[in-house]
Amino acid sequence: MTIKTRFAPSPTGYLHVGGARTALFSWLYARKHGGQFVLRIEDTDLERSTAESVNAILEGMTWLGLEYDEGPFYQTKRFDRYNEVIDQLLESGHAYRCDCPRERLDQLREEAMARKEKPRYDGCCREKTVNPDEPHVVRFRNPLDGAVVMDDMVLGKMVFENRELDDLIIRRSDGSPTYNLSVVVDDMDMEISHVIRGNDHVMNTPRQMNILHALGKAPPKYAHVPMILGDDGARLSKRHGAVSVMQYREQGFLPEALLNYLVRLGWSHGDQEIFSLDELTQLFDIDQVNKAASAFNTDKLLWLNQHYIKSADPARVAHLLGYHLGKRDIDPANGPELMDVVMAQRERAQTLEEMAEISEFIYRDFDDFDEKAAKKHLRPVAREPLERMLVALEALEEWTREKLHATVEQVATELGLNMGKVAQPLRVAVVGRAASPGIDDTLFLVGKEATLRRIDEALGYIFDREANTGEG
Partner RNA sequence: GCUCCCUUCGUCUAGCGGUUAGGACGCCGGCCUCUCACGUCGGUAACAGGGGUUCAAUUCCCCUAGGGAGCGCCA
Tell me the catalytic residues.
Answer: 238
Stretch that binds RNA, among 140-148, 174-182, 322-330, 456-464 (CB under 7 A): 174-182
Q: Give residues 90-149 in contact with RNA (rule: CB under 7 A).
A: 100-102, 105, 109, 113, 116-121, 137
Return d(Cα 300, Cα 304) in angstroms, integer.
6
Q: Which of residues 359-418 bind RNA (CB under 7 A)?
A: 405, 418
Of 39, 46, 43, nearest to 73 by C-alpha is 39
329 vs 368 by CB, closer to RNA: 368
- Write down the least CB distance from residue 177 to RNA, Å: 8
Residue 183 and residue 140 in contact, taking contact as beta carbons nearer than 8 Å: no
Binding segment for RNA (CB under 7 A), chosen from 85-93, 333-341, 428-436, 454-462, is: 428-436
Three-state SS annotation for 355-412? HHHHCHHHHCCCCCCCHHHHHHHCCHHHHHHHHHHHHHHHHCCCCCHHHHHHHHHHHH
Q: What x-and-dash track marks residues 253-292 binding RNA by CB under 7 A? A: -----------xxxxx-xx-x--------------x-xxx
Pick the closer one to RNA by CB: 160 or 253.
160
Instruction: Please tell me whether the peptide bond between 72 and the residue prior to it is cis, using omega within 30 degrees of 0.
Output: yes
465 is a contact residue toward RNA (CB under 7 A): no
Residue 239 CB burial class (10 angstroms; 0-12, 13-18, ≥19): exposed
**Nearer to RNA by C-beta: 417 or 466?**
417
3-state secondary structure of 319: helix
- List of residues 6+ apart from 458 with CB closer than 8 A: 369, 378, 386, 425, 428, 429, 430
Residue 4 near RNA by CB under 7 A? no
Q: Which stretch in 55-63, 141-149, 200-208, 444-452 sits in contact with RNA by CB under 7 A?
A: 200-208
Nearest to 431 by CA among 345, 352, 347, 304: 345
Q: Does 427 bind RNA (CB under 7 A)?
A: yes
String of DSSP letters for 417-431: --HHHHHHHHHHHHH
**Single residue of 439, 446, 459, 462 touching RNA by CB under 7 A:** 439
Member of 83, 204, 247, 251 binding RNA (CB under 7 A) = 204
- 348 touching RNA, by CB under 7 A: yes
Smallest gap from Cβ 413 to RNA, in A, equals 12
In the complex with RNA, the residue whose CB is nearer, 119 or 143, is 119
- Choose which of 35, 123, 143, 438 interacts with RNA (CB under 7 A): 438
Show contacts with RNA in window 33-62 (CB under 7 A). Answer: 42-45, 48
Residue 435: CB atoms within 10 Å: 11
Please, what is the minimum distance in Å from the beta carbon of residue 2 to RNA? 25
CB of 248 to RNA, least distance (A): 16
Contact 86, 47 (CB under 8 A): no
435 binds RNA (CB under 7 A): yes
